[in-house]
Amino acid sequence: MSISVAVWFELPALDLNRAQVFYEAVLGFPMKRETMGAGEMAVFQPPGAEIKGAVVKGPMFRPSADGALVYLNAGADLAVPLGRVAAVGGAVVMPKTDISPFGFIAVITDSEGNRVGLHSLS
């Protein structure tokens, strides 16, 4: 049996609609809306993902550029989603960086002010 260190992640949002539009545009796949207790969420559902997560709005959640850095799978070529970030209210804070032999990473701030990493193999 394989054990993963991470099993779920949550990125805080002040405006869930704006955050969902941001991530759907940047990553290129739809998210599913759900309500859990006092919180609302848009769940990342990329095909074949082992670890899932969501953008969450609720009383306990406040966006931050100082929290843990979560890296999202940016698909085959990191340049593609990076090219979409600014148009939907984000910013690239660390450009595409080679981390051979593990591929490439970049860091963005999302529409809510969260610092988020992106990873691709090319």
Residue 37 to residue 40: CA distance in whole angstroms: 8
pLDDT at 1 (0 to 100): 55
Structure token digits, residue 37: 């207790």
For residue 32, what are the β-bridge partners? Answer: 43
Q: Note the pLDDT tens digit of each residue in 11-20.
A: 999 999 999 9
Which residue from 80, 78, 114, 115 is spatially nearest to 98, judged by alpha carbons? 78
- The model's pTM: 0.89
Which class does domain 8-120 fall in?
Answer: alpha beta
| Residue 113 falls in which region: left (phi positive, over 0), alpha (psi -120 to 50) or beta | left
Answer whether residue 47 shows pLDDT above 80. Answer: no
